[in-house]
Amino acid sequence: MTDGFDPHSLRAQFPAFNTPGWVYLDSAATAQKPQPVIDAISRSYMMPTANVHRGQHQASLSATEQFEQARRDVAHFIGANPHNIVWTRGATEAINLIAYGLSHSLTPQDDILVSEMEHHANLIPWQLMAQRTGAQLVKIPCCPRTGTIDMKVYQQRLTARTRIVAISHVSNVTGTRHPIEEMTQVAHKFGATVIIDGAQGIVHEPVCMQTLNTDYYVFSGHKLYGPTGIGVLYGKPEALNALSPFHGGGKMITDVSFDHHTLASIPARFEAGTPNTAGAIGLAAAIDWLKQQDSQAIDAHITSCYQQLIDALRARPRIRLIAPQATSSMVSFVVGDEHHADVAELLAQQGIAVRSGHHCAHPFIKALGVDGTIRVSLAAYNTYQDITQFIAALDKTLDLLDI
């Protein structure tokens, strides 16, 4: 326990951990789901099902109300107006929507600044838009030793040509928390539009769009203890108005002739087709569950587990930590000259789930001078026993590898 917080009581709310002997240390990839989220999704399918915004019968009206209440819940969670919340399939689709939506205004005279620490979801869409529009993709480099953004170079590369700055809230490789407030403020001085990938950050700290003042902020439900297939795009009113629709179809229009259409108002114009109603309801349930928890106690517990983890790793000479953080929810490391996949496989055979590889961040991994890493990531349901079991399995792995 940490200051009265009982992780075992919280963990009991997650059916996934009914499997004995299983240690899950891969929450940065996706989080397990608490029972209230599972129940909310199940109820949405057990009750009479109908499409939203399509019918006047009670089932449709009820589904629509739940769908829109979920939007209001998300908006309140991040300090935004519900009209500025667009449902997507996840953070990846949200960034693609923004990139495509802004492409009509990009020219060869424009620069797109993207950090080299980004997940591919916040890099490839900008590469594609640069190729299609002639805009220049400009790298914001990192400091390989610390795994942090080089703020001096960032400020040097901001110019009157800069149209877009795309950065992550928190690195999915090292857990580095970027100075997004400062970066946003400086970018706005040059008139640049700022997009923040919040997939890793929103899980571990409260965010308020009014305070952050970014133009766009995106995140996925499945990393926030919610379901897969649902995500959120927040945009300032003027930022959303600047976007062209990504998908065409039903719901995103108000009038259609054979050769013309009139777009619906925001956010409907970006939500063509039948939406993931159950996903939205499940995400709202996850947010409601989170609000019932003691966030400060959870943060303190995760930090304590992280310290136990980092101390144990540092005590093993052949393990090299990659840009370790003072406090974080994840750590990446390499084991001598051993291949990361071999280490992860031997751990998996002992019931330990970690991530290995380049973590969908090839440029960052290359900048760090490694071929890949083993990543351990923590969540509210992890315990000191998880760390103890992981270290025991790691020691056995080192023995098997004769290190």
Residues 88 and 183 in one domain: yes
Q: Which of 275, 291, 307 is the last residue of a domain?
A: 291
pLDDT of residue 358: 96
* 400 pLDDT tier (thresholds 50, 70, 90): very high
In a domain, 78, yes or no: yes
Q: Report the pLDDT value the prediction gives residue 252, as an integer from 0 to 100.
A: 94
**Active-site position among 143, 208, 305, 360:** 360
């995103």: which residue's tokens?
A: 252
In a domain, 240, yes or no: yes
Mean pLDDT of 112-123: 97
Cα dihedral value 266, 267, 272, 278, nearest 10: -160
Enter the tokens of residue 379: 């969540």
In the chain, the largest separation of any two C-alpha atoms, in whole Å, equals: 72
124, 11: one domain: no
Q: Tell me: the pLDDT tens digits for 357-384?
A: 999 999 999 999 999 999 999 999 999 9
Distance CA 346, CA 350 (A): 7
Q: What is the CATH number of the domain that holds 339?
A: 3.90.1150.10
Residues 253 and 390 in one domain: no
Cis status, amide bond into 125, omega within 30 of 0 = no
Residues 273 and 387 in one domain: no
**Amino acid letter, 387:** I
- Give SS3 for 109: coil
* 107 and 145 both lie in a single domain: yes
Give the model's pLDDT for residue 403: 61
Residue 144 pLDDT class (50, 70, 90 cuts): confident
Triad 166, 170, 175: Cα angle to 5° = 145
Tokens of 251: 């719901």
What per-residue confidence (pLDDT) applies to 274?
93
136 shares its domain with 272: yes
Residues 147 and 275 reside in one and the same domain: yes
* pLDDT higher at 49 or 212: 212
Give residue 116's pLDDT.
Answer: 96
pLDDT at 28: 97
What confidence tens digit (pLDDT) does each residue in 212-226 have?
999 999 999 999 999
Rounded CA-CA distance 47/40 in Å is 11
Non-local CB neighbours of 261 within 8 Å, separated by 6+ positions: 253, 255
Is a pLDDT exceeding 80 seen at residue 103? yes
Residue 139: what are its φ and ψ, rounded to 5°? -85, 135
User: Can you give the pLDDT at residue 3?
Assistant: 56
CATH number, domain containing residue 221: 3.40.640.10
What are the residues whose beta carbons fall under 8 Å from the beta carbon of 62, sequence distance 6 or more? 47, 48, 50
d(CA 67, CA 17): 29
Domain boundary among the residues 291, 322, 352 is at 291
> CA 15 → CA 10, 283, 379, distances in Å?
11, 17, 15
Tokens of 307: 């310290």
- Residue 87 in any domain: the answer is yes
Model confidence at 343, pLDDT cuts 50, 70, 90, reads: very high
Does a structural domain hold residue 2? no
Residues 266 and 301 in one domain: no
Q: How many domains does the chain contain in total?
A: 2
Q: Which domain holds residue 370?
A: 7-31+294-400
Residue 188 has a pLDDT of 98
Whether residue 326 has pLDDT greater than 80 = no
∠ CA 292-296-301, nearest 5°, is 105
Are both 19 and 120 inside the same structural domain? Answer: no
What 3-state class would DSSP assign to 99?
helix
Q: For residue 1, what pLDDT band results from cuts at 50, 70 and 90?
A: low
- Residue with tokens 């084991």, as numbered in its chain: 335
Please report which confidence band the pLDDT of residue 145 belongs to, taking 50, 70 and 90 as the band edges: confident
Is 72 within a domain?
A: yes
Question: Is 360 part of the annotated catalytic residue set?
Answer: yes
* Burial (Cβ within 10 Å: 0-12, 13-18, ≥19) of residue 152: exposed
What's the rounded Cα separation, in Å, for the pair 384 and 403?
25
Backbone angles phi, psi at 362, to 5 degrees: -50, -50
Check whether 279 has a pLDDT greater than 90.
yes
CA dist 221 and 31 (Å) reads 9
**Band (244; pLDDT cuts 50, 70, 90):** very high
Give the global pTM. Answer: 0.96
Residue 1 forms part of a structural domain = no
User: Are 104 and 191 in the same domain?
Assistant: yes
24: in domain? yes
Query: Mean pLDDT lowest for which of 43-52, 219-228, 238-247?
Result: 43-52
Q: Are residues 246 and 388 in the same domain?
A: no
Specify the pLDDT at position 137.
Answer: 98
- pLDDT (mean) for 50-65: 89
DSSP structure class, residue 21: T
The domain boundary, picked from 256, 291, 326, lies at 291
Q: What string of H, E and C letters represents the secondary structure of 212-259?
A: HCCCEEEEECHHHCCCCCCEEEEECHHHHHCCCCCCCCCCCEEEEECC
Question: Is 191 within a domain?
Answer: yes
Task: Give mean pLDDT, residues 67-78.
Answer: 98
Quote the mean pLDDT of the chain.
Answer: 95
Same domain as 209, residue 314: no
